[in-house]
A = this chain, B = another copy of it.
Amino acid sequence: MLKVGLLGAGRIGRVHAQAISAHSNSKLCAVSDAVPEAAESLANEYGAQARGSDEIIADPQIDAVLIATPTDTHSDLIETATAAGKAVLCEKPVDLSLDRAVQCLKTVSGRGKPVMIGFNRRFDPHFSALKDSLEAGEVGTAELLSITSFDPAPPPVSYVKVSGGLFRDMMIHDFDMANFLMGDVPQTISAVGSSLVDAGIGAAGDVDTAVVTMTYADGRIAVIKNSRRAAYGYDQRVELLGSKGLLQVQNALENTVVKSTAEGVVGAKPTYFFLERYMPAYRVEWAAFVEAVANGSDVPVSLKDGVAALAMAEAATLSMHSGKPVRMEEVLKPVAK
């Protein structure tokens, strides 16, 4: 039974609390949060204790921590927790600063403690079925990947301001999905972006609509489309053209009811947002973490994967501002140092 401390009792923390509790081999023991009431409320719900982060990390009874705190605390907590011998599952992104993330990677890499980054979409049954089909050679070799990822509605501008920008906050999931499916990081990244959805996002120096094109050393190409608004709900699709066919993940719908009237043939909308769409993925993610910790095997999404996705976000940001493609090696040099 893995004894788990949860750092962060916000929206995503609650999601993880549910997954931790539902798993037969893990137990939520402690919860911390900058807002003590939030920690207490969540702890009570699951029969856990509300405690301070430091205390949780220092407690030798705790085997693992799940970091679901604000992004700027991730690197510090990863370092402290691994130093205290904990296994770590940390929410994405690793950090807003690529330098800091790289430093963190160097710091913890010798410690031998599992550090997994929470790219939950890798564990979504639809995306993993696509990956399985690809690896089974069912469409030959990959050539052209296309990821569509639209949120149903933009976050408040206040959130956008501290988010690190669309590439680090939102598209980072798609960068990791590209790495997951293509089995490699790209060579060049080229980004364009606009503020079309909410002028306040533009005023805050960010974009809400963006397209990123990536090329790989072997000539393959990937393109990612993001928008902060899709009036019809959360749009999460992937398609991959291979030498022998096409694989697509279509949207999961709220239900399978189809209504045909004089107005047309109407199906249900996509499941609304990430909580609805990816709850099963969060559970599979947690099970994969528990299993890796139990078996001493490699975690399926490493800290290095987290740094790679962050470096891609960095490159995309640079490309959008410079209006020129950016070679990944330009942003990854620090990693090599």
Could you list which residues of chain A lie within 8 angstroms of chain B, going by C-beta atoms?
125-126, 129-130, 133, 138-140, 143-144, 146, 148, 150, 188, 190, 192-197, 209-211, 213, 215, 219-221, 223, 225, 227, 229-232, 235, 241, 243-269, 323-325
Cross-chain contact B231 with A243 (CB below 8 angstroms): yes
Per the bound structure, the CA–CA distance linking A264 and B264 in Å amounts to: 11
Q: How far is the CB of A147 from chain B (nearest CB, A)?
A: 11
A4 to B193, CA, bound (A): 48
Q: A192-B213, A225-B146, A323-B325 are in contact. Are A245 and B220 (CB under 8 A)?
A: no
Residue A261 contacts which of B150, B231, B254 (CB distance < 8 angstroms)? B231
Asked whether A258 lies within 8 Å of B248 as measured between CB atoms, the reply is yes
Going nearest first, the 3 A-B pairs with the smallest beta carbon separation are A245-B261, A194-B219, A232-B260
Nearest-CB residue, chain B, relative to A239 = B148
**Contact: A223 with B221, CB < 8 Å?**
no
> Copies per complex?
4
9 contacting pairs across A/B (C-beta < 8 A) = A133-B257, A190-B190, A190-B213, A194-B219, A209-B221, A230-B246, A235-B260, A248-B259, A259-B264
Known: A232-B261, A260-B269, A264-B266. 20 other contacts (CB 8 A): A140-B231, A143-B197, A143-B209, A144-B209, A144-B211, A144-B225, A146-B148, A150-B241, A192-B215, A195-B219, A196-B243, A211-B223, A231-B260, A232-B262, A244-B261, A250-B257, A262-B269, A263-B266, A264-B269, A266-B266
Nearest chain B CB to A281 CB, angstrom units: 12
Which residue of chain B has its CB nearest to the CB of A266? B264
Partner of A133 from the list B188, B221, B259, B267 (CB cut-off 8 Å) is B259
- In the complex the two chains form, what is the Cα distance from A146 to B211 in whole Å? 10
Evaluate contact between A257 and B265: CB separation under 8 angstroms: no
Say yes or no: A261-B196 contact (C-beta < 8 A), given A223-B211, A323-B325. no
Residues of B within 8 A of A267 (CB): 264-267
Contact B221 A257 (CB under 8 A): no
- Residues of B within 8 Å of A130, CB to CB, are 257
Q: Which B residues touch A221, using CB under 8 A?
A: 192-194, 209-211
Closest chain-B Cβ to A313's Cβ sits at a distance in Å of: 18
A143 CB contacts on chain B under 8 angstroms: 196-197, 209, 227
Q: Please, which residues of chain B bring their CB within 8 A of the CB of A256? A: 126, 249-252
> B259 and A247: CB pair below 8 A?
yes
Give the shortest distance, in Å, between A259 (CB) and chain B (any CB).
6
**A215 and B231 contacting across the interface, CB-CB below 8 Å:** no
| Cα–Cα, bound, A310→B129 (Å) | 41
Question: Please, which residues of chain B bring their CB within 8 A of the CB of A139?
Answer: 231, 259, 261
A254→B129 CA distance, assembly (Å): 10
Q: Which of A188, A192, A256 has the most CB of B within 10 A?
A: A256
Contact residue among B125, B140, B148, B194 (Cβ-Cβ distance under 8 Å from A255)? B125
